Structure 1
Amino acid sequence: MKRIKAVALAFLIIILAIQFLQPARNKNGQAVSKDFSKVFTVPGNVQGILKKSCFDCHSNQTEYPWYTYIQPVGWWMDSHIRKGKEELNFSEFGSYSKRRQMSKLKSIGESIENETMPLPSYTLIHKKARLSNEEKDLILNWVKNTRNSLSLKP
């Protein structure tokens, strides 16, 4: 019985200690000149959809829920955000080459059509991030029009 109490106490101390090891927050707060909305014409409704469903992991504008301040959940979220931004960062979209922008726009469309984004694990907790059919159509039309305008530019 003493051994179980000692292990439980050690576990509790470790859990409490790791709460002081918080990852850096992904919060810029400013739309920089490389932001996709500064590079392309983005209708307000499309930007709103992308903000609620994509920006937490794919921009420098993460909105952190309360549970991300509890470790190890915060570390797990930080990992998701870092990987998401490596794949696509709306805040840095303007710095991508034209070819990469075209590729990312294509990937956005495919991810929406295949329903691989937003991640089911994300929408499980963030119900507002789920995309309705109308929202999907708005994003897909914007992606198509933006890709067409990019392909016309020399």
Structure 2
Amino acid sequence: MFKKILIVILVGFIMIQFFPIDKTNPPLEPGMDFIRIKNTPPDIAKLIRNSCYDCHSNETKYPWYASIAPSSWFLKNHINEGRKELNFSTFATYESSRQIHKLEECAEMIEKKKMPLESYYLGHQDAKLSDEERKKLTDYFKFQIKETKIKNY
């Protein structure tokens, strides 16, 4: 009986591999990207790219497990939700009030250690932020909030 259950599970696992996720990133428009339009310093840009861009941009680098269902389905859903919430690749398309709101959320989520997600660190140790890096990022986002307000109000 145990052997039959194991075979059914194995066959099911093999069958779901025939339903891969689409790992094609949307096209990039460099003039829309947050790092570029805000003239982000290289050290800050690196932190944002390492800790945010896989889920919050059109520059996702899919890890090896993105090819194995069902983890690939979870990952794709997570990326879609992340892009929907905030997409750094299309940041310039946001109205200034929305930019400010998203920057406030970025600062808050990083400050409270809600982002990047703990689960993201499993395959991305370089995304783990020290307290100093968290402060650097939150200060930068808060600076950008002020700059955006000055330019648009």
Same fold (TM over 0.5): yes
Instruction: State how far apart, in whole Å, the 1-side matches of 2:37 and 2:124 are.
Output: 28
Q: Report 1:30-69 matches (<5 A).
A: 30-69=28-67
Instruction: State how far apart, in whole Å, the 2-side matches of 1:18 and 1:99 are.
Output: 43
Aligned Cα RMSD in Å?
1.6
Task: Give the TM-score normalised by structure 2.
Answer: 0.91
- Counterpart of 1:116 in structure 2: which amino acid? K
- Aligned position for 2:115: 117
Question: Does 28-37 or 8-17 show the bigger shift?
Answer: 28-37
Q: Secondary structure at the match of 1:33?
A: helix
State the identity as a percent.
36
Tell me the CA shift for residue 26 of structure 1: 4.7
Instruction: State how far apart, in whole Å, the 1-side matches of 2:73 and 2:82 are.
Output: 14
Task: Give the TM-score normalised by structure 1.
Answer: 0.90
Question: Does 110-119 or 134-143 show the bigger shift?
Answer: 134-143
8 A Cα contact 1:26 1:60, kept in partner: no
Tell me the CA shift for residue 125 of structure 1: 3.5
Aligned residues: 152
Structure 2: gaps (5+ residues): none
Residues 50 and 26 of structure 1, relative CA distance in 2, 3 Å threshold: farther
- Aligned position for 1:76: 74
Q: C-alpha offsets along residues 80-131 of structure 1, whole Å, 9 cap, x if unaligned?
A: 1011111111011111110000000000000111010001111244221110
- Aligned position for 1:148: 146
8 A Cα contact 1:54 1:118, kept in partner: yes
Task: Note if 1:103 corresponds to 2:106.
Answer: no
Instruction: State how far apart, in whole Å, the 2-side matches of 1:35 and 1:125 are.
Output: 25
Instruction: State how far apart, in whole Å, the 1-side matches of 2:20 and 2:43 are.
Output: 34
Tell me the CA shift for residue 68 of structure 1: 1.6
- Aligned position for 2:129: 131
Instruction: State how far apart, in whole Å, the 2-side matches of 1:26 and 1:143 are.
Output: 29
